Amino acid sequence: MSLLDLPTATLMSAGGDDRITLDEQSGLNSYGCAPEPVRAISYSSSTASSISAPAYAHAHAVHHQLRLAVANGESEDAAYTRFLRNARGRIRRVYSLAADVDVAFGASGTDLEYLALAIALQSGQRVTNVVVEVDEVGSGCLFSQAGQYFAARTALGLDVVKGAHLPGFDADLISVETLKTRTDDGPVRQDDEYAQMLLKAASEIIAKGKRPLVHIIHRSKTGIVTPSLSAIDKLISVHGDAVDLVVDACQGRISPDTIQAYLARGASIFMTGSKFIGGPPFSAWALIPARLSARMKSGSIAPAGLAHFFARGDMPTGWIDTDHLLPMRTNFGLLLRLEAGLFELERLLTMPMDRVDAVILAFGKAMRTLADTMPFRLIEGAANDPAAGDHQNGSSPIHPLDRKMLYVIELTDPLATTGQSLSVEQAREVYRGLYTDMTDRFSLPRECLIASEICHLGQPVKCLKDNIGEWAPTLRLSLSAPQVFEMIGLDADRLVERFTADIERIAAKIRLVIATLG
C-alpha cells in the first residue's frame, strides 16, 4: 500500500520523529496537538499548534492532487520533487529572494542543523559550532549541533542510536562551544557583552585552524534576538569569510526585510512552517546564500550521514555533492505539513500590513495590562526586544513581523495544599492539564464549564530564577499567523477585548488545574 492511500490526518503525522507520533488514546502528539482542526484557545505557537481548518482543507486538496498525479502515471518520486520545486518558488516569491539563494527542506530545524554542519565541513576545515544554551532552542539541538543522532528514529524512518555520530560527522571534525545568552540568574545579557564574547570565541577558534559556525538566534523560545546586526557586522569586519553564519529563525517571527538583511551578510537562515507560521509540526526550510551554496557544488561528496535525514528532492537543483548521496525517497507527511504552513504564510502576507500590525499591537497591550487578580504575571525582560533596537539598521518603520509577539508568564498561584510555589515540573503538569478536558474531575456546573476548555500555551522555559535560586514555573503565550488572519477585521478596541477575554479564560483554567495539584 502507498502512503498516499492513508487518510490526510494520518499521513501528516508521518515522516517526522516520535514528537509527532499520535497517542492512541488521546489522538494527540507529544505537544498536545492534533493533525486535524480542534476547538481550542490556542496561544501555543512558541511550541506547536494544531492545524487550522482552512490549512487542513488545503493540505487535503494537495493530498488529492498527489494521488491523482500518481494514478495518472507520474512516479511518487517525481510528484514529490515537483511539489517541492513549486514550494521553493512560493518561498522565493513571498520573501522576494534573489535567484542565487537556494532553498533546502527538512523535517525540523533540528534536522537542518546537520545541513549547516555539512556546508561548513565542505570548506575542508574542522568546525566549531558556536551555539546558545539549549533551553532557548530545542533539546534535540544538543545532539544535532555536535553531529550526533538526536533521536532513535530519523525522519526517513531509519532506526539509529541516539547520541552516536552520523557518518562523516566524526567527533574529531566537530566541536561545540556554548555562549550563554543569559546570566546564571536568568536575565538576558546586554548586546555589547554578548558581542564581545562572540568575537573572542571566534578569534580563538580561528587561531586553532578551525572554522567557526556561528549561530544567530532570531526570536528564540523566549523571544531573544542575539547578536544584533551591528555585532554581526563587527564580527564580519574582523574575520570576513573565515566565519560561517547561520540564523535560527525557526520561530518564524521575522519579516522579509530582516531576512534580506541576514542574507546580505552571507548567513543561512533556518525557518519552520509551524511556530508563528501556524502549520502543523514538523516542516522546515533553509535559505542558503550563494557563497555557502557553492560549497555543495564542488564535486566533493558531502558527509554521508545526510542520507539518513534528507531525500534527494529536499535539496536544491545543482547541489551535485548530494546528488549521488541522498536516496530517491518521498516524505509526503513533510510535504503536506509544509503545504499547510505555506498556505498560512501566503495568506497572511497578502493582508494589509497596517491591519496585521494592529492585531499584534493589541495583543501586546492586552498582555501588558494583565489584571492583578490573574494567577500569573508577565515576566518583563524575559527577552530583549529588538523591535526597538538596531536589527533593522535604520529608522524605517518597524515591520509587524519584527514586533514582539511572544510573552513569558510566571505562574504565581501557590499550591492549595501546602501554600508553596509551583516547581518547573508542576508547571509542566499545568501545561498538560490546560489542553486536557478535565470535566470528570469536577461537579459544579461552572467548574465543569471551565474544566472543559481546551487551552494551548507554550511549554515552560528556564529563564527566571526565584529568590531561593530555583527555576521559576513559567508558560508562554504567543500569536500565530492563523490567529492574526482570523482577527484582522476587528477594530482596536474589539481586538483588545477579544485578547483579554481569551486570557481570562486561560487564567480560569490555570486556577482549576493548579487546584488539582498535590
What is the reported pLDDT for 395?
57
How many angstroms separate the CA atoms of 149 and 166, rounded?
7
Mean pLDDT of 472-484: 96
Mean pLDDT of 253-280: 95
96, burial (CB in 10 Å: exposed 0-12, middle 13-18, buried 19+): exposed
Nearest 5 degrees, angle CA 34-CA 248-CA 36? 10
What is the reported pLDDT for 98?
94
Counting other chains too, the contacts that 89-97 makes at CB distance below 8 Å and 24 or more residues apart are: 90/342, 90/346, 91/285, 91/287, 91/342, 94/256, 94/342, 94/345, 94/346, 94/349, 95/256, 95/259, 95/260, 95/287, 96/256, 96/260, 97/263, 97/287
Nearest 5 degrees, angle CA 359-CA 97-CA 102? 125
Assigned C-alpha cell, 236: 564580519
Instruction: Report which residue type is found at 375.
Output: P
How many angstroms separate the CA atoms of 223 and 46, rounded?
9
Domains and CATH numbers, the chain: 13-53+109-150+162-296+347-518 (3.40.640)
Mean pLDDT of 209-218: 96
DSSP 5: G
Q: Decide if 212 contacts 200 (C-beta within 8 A).
A: no
Instruction: Report which residue type is found at 111.
Output: D
pLDDT tens digits for range 344-391: 999 999 999 999 999 999 999 999 988 888 999 998 765 565 554 444
Instruction: Report which residue type is found at 267.
Output: A
Indicate whether 33 pLDDT > 90.
Answer: no
Q: Decide if 496 contacts 504 (C-beta within 8 A).
A: no
What is the reported pLDDT for 388?
43
Indicate whether 135 pLDDT > 90.
Answer: no
240, burial (CB in 10 Å: exposed 0-12, middle 13-18, buried 19+): exposed
Q: What is the pTM of this model?
A: 0.93
Closest Cα partner for 93 from 383, 350, 464?
350
